Structures are given as C-alpha cells and as structure tokens.
C-alpha cells in the first residue's frame, strides 16, 4: 500500500491523521510538506513534520519545501514527484481524518479499476448525508471529492495545474456541456477563471477540470469514510467551523463490497452534491446568452423534434445516418 500524506503547519491535526495511517502500516509513505510563510510559522511547520515517527517496516520518502510554495504549486509538484516513482497511491491531507476502512476500500478500488481508463478518481468522503441508492458500496460520479482519495499515475499524467485549454473551452461555451445545469457550469467557470488569474490558490478544481475534459468518472463511497476536521481560521479555504460540511460523522465500509450493476454516473447524487456546496446560488448566464446557447444546441432540437411523431422519426433517421457516415470515414 502506498500512502501520500500532505502536511503544512497544523501539528495537532497532523497527529490525529497520522495515527490512523500508522494503524494500517503502509509499505510506503510519501510526505509532502509546504514551507513557512514567515518565521512565526516555521515552528508550526517543524512541529507538524516532527509528528511523523514511523515505527513499522516502511519505506519513507519526503518532499519538503523550505519556503512556502502555496497550496496550488505545493500539492501539484508534490504529487508529480510521487507519481514519478509509483503507479498508484492513497492520498490524505492533514485535516482529513479517515475511518480505518477507508484504506482497504481504496486498495480494492485501485486494484479493480487499475486498467480502466474510464475511472480516474476514488473518493472516500461522501457529503450527501444519508443519500444512498440501493445496497451498492459506491457509485459513479462526474465530481471528484478530494477529502481522502486515491488515483493512478495514468490519471495524474493528464492533469494540468495551469489549465491551458480553459480559455478555448470557455470561448466556445463547451463547459456548459460538462454539467447538468447552468448553475454548476457557472460556478466552476468562475473558479477556473480565478485559478487562471491566480486569484485562487488551489489545485483541486484543476483536477476536476482535467477529469471532465477526459470524460472520466469517479468512484465515490456510498458511506462517508473521511471527515474534514480542519474547519477553522487557520485553514486555507475551509475557515468556518460552523460549516455544515465540517466534522461529518464517518461510518465503516462493509465488506465484501457490493458493486453497482452499471457504470453510469448517479445523476441524482451529483445534483445533491452540487446542492451541498450551494452551487445552485451561482449566477445564471444572461437571457441573451441562454437563448443563444439553446439555439446552438443540437440536442435541444432533437428533444423538440422527437415530441412530434413523424418528425421525430425523420430526425432520428437523419442523426443515425450522420453518425454512421462519420464512423465510416
């Protein structure tokens, strides 16, 4: 088992998460640590690093920044360093406290989907607070929650922290095809704009962007296996301790795992996930832009024509002939 532990300046939280890691005794442990922004932070950074005392047979490798790189560059460069050496890893940050069953869940998913490029991300955190469809142990999602996750080198190689293709995607409004609602697309368009302008110092929304661009899906545990215990003013983004996503209860995964019958994203779960982050409050595009997008959307014409019996049959045949001709070229 390969475990990556990303730390910074919170020794108490680091100690809690490290205790959980030490219980499963991974064969390899990779430490990624950012450096201090000031002399005041230096002692905190050193205390956080000192927490990690490995007392079991384990190959330990460290990637320590002596000066502060920021969340975006530190995590991106650290994971690039990890995946230059190994094929797959389970990843935890210093504020993500896992249930013990998180590790075997990720390990089994890494094994099962190792050679399936359609799956790019395994998530241990489930923020849906009880939503579950059937008895399956996990579901498929277009989202990629990162409070306790795992992935493979093959997926990480597609990651671009600088999102070089985003300006073209936005210019053609292709991001609206990535999501079920305009509100979701608008929310992430704003996030991606802020990343590109360097107003937002993060790495995870770029990871989602890469996943959506590649058409890959995530495996998400049907129960919450990881709790974010780091909602406080010292956090990078999760500063409100009263946030409803703070300190969520975890529960153990039941084994053997029950697999979904079909590899289809759970649309209701994704909509619930979007609502949980209040994406529905994102502003809608202007009326003029919505009309333009509707008129340029060939799928809208198809849905409209199919409501008329004869016209719908003609449209379906025309689309079928078009697709057949494209495949035959």
Q: Output DSSP code: residue 237.
A: S
Q: Could you tell me if 171 and 186 lie in one domain?
A: yes
Domains contained in the chain, number? 3
CB of 104 within 8 A of CB of 255?
yes
Task: Encode pLDDT of 127-181 as tens digits.
Answer: 887 778 789 999 999 999 999 999 999 999 999 999 999 999 999 999 999 998 8
Give the CATH number of the domain where residue 71 resides: 3.40.50
Q: Could you tell me if 188 and 246 lie in one domain?
A: yes
Q: Could you tell me if 196 and 250 lie in one domain?
A: yes
Cα–Cα distance between 53 and 58 in angstroms, integer?
A: 11
Q: Is residue 107 one of the residues assigned to a domain?
A: no
173, exposed or middle or buried, with CB in 10 Å at 0-12, 13-18, 19+?
middle
Using CA atoms in the order 272, 236, 149, 14, what is the torsion angle rounded to 10 degrees? -130
pLDDT at position 242 is: 72
Beta bridge pairs of residue 220: 123, 139
Q: Could you tell me if 270 and 192 lie in one domain?
A: yes
Residue 317's domain spans which residues?
287-323
Q: Could you tell me if 50 and 133 lie in one domain?
A: no
Q: Could you tell me if 197 and 279 lie in one domain?
A: yes
**Nearest alpha-carbon partner for 183 in 274, 292, 276, 289:** 274
Q: What would the two tokens of residue 72 be? A: 């975006």
Q: Is residue 158 one of the residues assigned to a domain?
A: yes
Cα–Cα distance between 259 and 245 in angstroms, integer?
A: 27
Q: Could you tell me if 171 and 281 lie in one domain?
A: yes
pLDDT at position 133 is: 79
pLDDT at position 291 is: 63
Q: Could you tell me if 134 and 23 lie in one domain?
A: no
Q: Is residue 201 one of the residues assigned to a domain?
A: yes
Q: Could you tell me if 128 and 83 lie in one domain?
A: no
- Core vs surface per residue 222-255: b (16+ CB within 10 A) or e: bbbbbbbbbbeeebeebeeeeeebbebebeebee
Spans in the chain with pLDDT lower than 70: 233, 235-241, 277-329
Q: Work out the number of other CB atoms within 10 angstroms of the CB of residue 183.
A: 19
Cα–Cα distance between 316 and 176 in angstroms, integer?
A: 24
Q: Is residue 89 one of the residues assigned to a domain?
A: yes
Q: Is residue 99 one of the residues assigned to a domain?
A: no
Reduce the DSSP state of residue 33 to 3 states and report it. strand
**Nearest alpha-carbon partner for 63 in 76, 54, 51:** 76
Q: Is residue 110 one of the residues assigned to a domain?
A: no
Q: Could you tell me if 258 and 123 lie in one domain?
A: yes
Q: Could you tell me if 187 and 309 lie in one domain?
A: no
Alpha helices in 67-131 (DSSP H): 70-83, 102-112
pLDDT at position 192 is: 95
Q: Is residue 311 one of the residues assigned to a domain?
A: yes
Q: Is residue 106 one of the residues assigned to a domain?
A: no
Q: Could you tell me if 86 and 135 lie in one domain?
A: no
């Amino acid at each position: 088992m390969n475990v990556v532990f990303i730390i910074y300046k919170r020794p108490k939280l680091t100690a809690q998460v490290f205790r959980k890691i030490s219980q499963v005794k991974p064969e390899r442990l990779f430490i990624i640590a950012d450096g201090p922004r000031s002399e005041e932070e230096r002692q905190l950074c050193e205390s956080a690093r000192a927490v990690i005392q490995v007392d079991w047979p384990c190959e330990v490798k460290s990637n320590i920044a002596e000066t502060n790189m920021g969340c975006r560059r530190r995590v991106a460069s650290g994971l690039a360093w990890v995946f230059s050496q190994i094929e797959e890893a389970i990843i935890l940050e210093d504020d993500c406290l896992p249930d013990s069953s998180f590790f075997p869940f990720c390990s089994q998913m890494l094994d099962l989907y190792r050679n399936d490029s359609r799956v790019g991300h395994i998530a241990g955190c489930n923020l849906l607070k009880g939503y579950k469809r059937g008895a399956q142990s996990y579901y498929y999602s277009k989202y990629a929650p990162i409070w306790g996750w795992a992935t493979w080198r093959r997926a990480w190689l597609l990651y671009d922290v600088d999102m070089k293709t985003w300006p073209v995607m936005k210019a053609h409004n292709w991001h609206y095809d990535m999501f079920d609602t305009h509100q979701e697309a608008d929310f992430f368009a704003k996030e991606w704009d802020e990343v590109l302008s360097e107003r937002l110092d993060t790495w995870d929304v770029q990871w989602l962007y890469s996943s959506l661009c590649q058409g890959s899906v995530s495996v998400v545990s049907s129960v919450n296996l990881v709790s974010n215990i780091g909602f406080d003013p010292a956090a990078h983004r999760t500063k409100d301790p009263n946030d409803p996503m703070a300190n969520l209860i975890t529960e153990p995964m039941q084994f053997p795992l029950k697999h979904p019958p079909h590899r289809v994203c759970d649309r209701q779960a994704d909509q619930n996930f979007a609502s949980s982050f209040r994406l529905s409050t994102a502003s809608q595009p202007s009326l003029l832009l919505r009309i333009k997008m509707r008129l340029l959307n060939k799928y809208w014409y198809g849905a409209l024509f199919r409501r008329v019996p004869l016209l719908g049959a003609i449209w379906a045949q025309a689309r079928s002939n078009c697709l057949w001709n494209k495949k035959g070229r």
